[in-house]
Structure formats: C-alpha cells, structure tokens
Amino acid sequence: MKKTLLRFFTSLFNAQTAENKYKEGDNKVELKDHRRAIADYTEAIELNPNDSEAYNCRGNSKTWIGDYKGAIADYTKAIELNPIYCEAYNGRGKSKIWLKDYGGAIGDYTKAIEINPDYSDLYRNRGDSKVWLEDNLGAIEDFNKAIELNPNDSEAYLDRGNSKSNIEDYGEAIHDFTKAIELNPDYSEAYYRRGYFKLVLEDYKGAIKDLTKAIELNSNYSEAYFGRGLSKFKLNERNSAYLDFRKAGELGITEAYDFIKECDKTSASYDNLQIKSYWWDSKATVILLTIFFWPAGVYGWYMRSKNKKK
C-alpha cells in the first residue's frame, strides 16, 4: 500500500514538474532562445516520456536552429504517441523540405489535411512542396483551396502568383501579387515580384514604381535594386541605373558589376543602346532567372525560409 502511494505521489510530482519545464521552454521560445528551450523540453520529456506536445515543441525549436534530422525524429515520436497530431505532421513536413525530401513533405501535409481538412496553412505548405517538384498546376489547386479557406491570406496569393508565373501566366500572376499587396500593404516581396513581371512585360515605369516601393520597405533588397537598374537602363536612364547596379553589387549580386561596366562603356545615344540591347537582354534574362527561379537562388531561399515562420 505504501509503495503504491509512493509511486502515485512520485508520478504526480513528476507530471507537475514536467509541466513546469514545458512552460519554461515555451517562455524561452517566446524570447527566441531555442537552444535553452530545447534543454527545457528535454527535461520535460525525461520526467514524462509520453508527452507528445513536448516532443513536438522540441522539434519546432530544433528546426529553428537547423537540426532538421533531430526535428524529424522528435515529430515522429510525437506522432507515435499521438497518431492524429496534425501539428506534428505539419512540422515534420517543413523539416523534410529543408532536407529536400519534397515527396515526403507532401505525404506529411496530406496526412495532416486528412486530420484537419479546414486548416488553410496545410494546403499552402503542400502547394509550396509541389512547386519544388515543378507541379505548378497541382500547387495552384492547393493555393486555391488555401484562399478559399482563408481569403485574407496574403502569402497564399503570393505563392499562387509565383506558380502562375512559372506557367507563364504573367497577367494572372500580377493580379495575385496585387491582391497580396491589398491584403498586406507592407509586403515587400509582393511589390518585388509584381515589379519583376512588369519588367518582363516591358512595363518599365510600372516596374520601377513597384521595385522602389519594395526598396522603401526593405532597404537591403538587392534583387529589387538590380531589377530597378535594368528597368532604368531600358528607359535610357543610364546614370541612375548605374547607381542601382552598384548598390545591388554591394548587397551581394556580383553579376551587377558586369552591368556597371556596360554602363561605363555604353554611350547615352539611342543607337548605341540598341547595339547593346541583345547583350543586355540575354545576360539580364539569365541572371534574373537565376535570382528568381533557381532553387539555390533567392526564390529557393524564400520558399525555405518562410517554413520557419509557419
């Protein structure tokens, strides 16, 4: 009888202590101190090995510090303890994206959607994964569903616009970027992308306006400086274009320095600009495609980094 009571009170004490450590971990997450949060969640798990939420939260913090394999192990344990743990499937999907396991991520998001079909973020996350596999039509279907469930989701409009641009539906892409801006007037990424495709469609003045707004919202937006420089050059604003290319180069786009050299070489006369047109258009296209679409470039960085925010 005494042993039974002792086990009972010990179990009760451990559960209470585990809960306290769990809350301490949450507090450190609020402070973005993820390494110390991991230590707290680990103590909570040692005191209560069946706490699926502690495993899930530790997985979230491991994702933030870049320990994606460790995060997946924690999410998997949380799912073993609670097979209908929607957030754990969602978190595991995000970590799999970082490890380029896009098919595995889609599987996790699909399972999470089966558990909670009204959770709009899941469709957006699955759509992002499909983009990596170049299934843009499938991605658009998921973004459509995300918007249906949450019409105020500016990110879903941005993502759908990206997919529409991938299938060269530039007009509709611009429409989606515009909607994203209406929902979030401080969305620098949406201004940049709308400006980029105005540049593609040769609306150089419109591109400059959007890219200038993107720069106002993010003064270190190297891609916006580069795109604005191209737009200004196409309007024969050589000196101003030079300044934008120089800023883009300072911020990390080393290819911009090639364009600075061409600004120096090219006279301001229309005839010489026409002679240089093929070089500019072909090289600019390659660089912009690299910046915007190539997985190792800015688009890839954007697609991955936003997983941490969800």
pLDDT digit string (tens) for 278-297? 334 544 554 555 554 433 33
What values do phi and psi take at 147, rounded to 5?
-70, -35
pLDDT band (50, 70, 90) for residue 158: very high
CB 207 within 8 A of CB 231: yes
Residue 243's pLDDT is 94
Q: For residue range 4-23, what is the model confidence (pLDDT) as tens digits?
A: 434 443 444 445 677 888 88
Q: Is the pLDDT of residue 31 over 60?
A: yes
In the DSSP assignment, the letter for residue 307 is: G
Residue 18's pLDDT is 74
CB 29 within 8 A of CB 40: no
Would you state the structure tokens that stand for residue 286, as one six-digit string?
Answer: 């390659």
Q: For residue range 47-66, what is the model confidence (pLDDT) as tens digits?
A: 999 999 999 999 999 999 99
What residues have CB less than 8 Å from 283, skipping those under 6 apart?
255, 258, 259
Angle, to 10 degrees, between the axis of helix 270-292 and the axis of helix 298-305? 30
Would you state the structure tokens that stand for residue 251, as one six-digit string?
Answer: 């911020």
Of the candidates 42, 50, 49, 2, the one whose C-alpha atom is nearest the C-alpha of residue 22 is 42
- Token match 């090289």: residue? 283
Residue 162's pLDDT is 94
CA 120, CA 305: separation in Å to the nearest integer?
A: 19
DSSP character string of 37-73: HHHHHHHHHHH-TT-HHHHHHHHHHHHHTT-HHHHHH
The chain-wide mean pLDDT, for the chain, equals: 84
Domains located in the chain, CATH noted: 1-83 (1.25.40.10), 87-173 (1.25.40.10), 186-310 (1.25.40.10)
Residue 122's pLDDT is 98
Q: For residue range 235-288, what is the model confidence (pLDDT) as tens digits?
A: 989 889 999 999 999 999 888 888 887 776 654 433 344 434 433 454 455 455
Higher pLDDT: 157 or 285? It is: 157
Q: Is the pLDDT of residue 114 over 60?
A: yes
CB 130 within 8 A of CB 159: no
CA 62, CA 162: separation in Å to the nearest integer?
A: 29
SS3 236: coil
Residue 122 to residues 84, 115, 127, 155, Cα–Cα distance (Å): 15, 11, 8, 13
Residue 263 to residues 199, 209, 233, Cα–Cα distance (Å): 19, 22, 8
* Degrees to nearest 5, angle at CA 242 with 238 and 246: 170
What values do phi and psi take at 65, rounded to 5?
-95, 5
CB 168 within 8 A of CB 199: no
Q: What is the pTM of this model?
A: 0.81
Of the candidates 230, 215, 221, the one whose C-alpha atom is nearest the C-alpha of residue 262 is 230
- Token match 């303890």: residue? 81
Query: Where in the chain does DSSP place strands (E)?
Result: none
Q: Is the pLDDT of residue 141 over 70?
A: yes
In the DSSP assignment, the letter for residue 281 is: H
Residue 254's pLDDT is 87
- Token match 């593609």: residue? 200
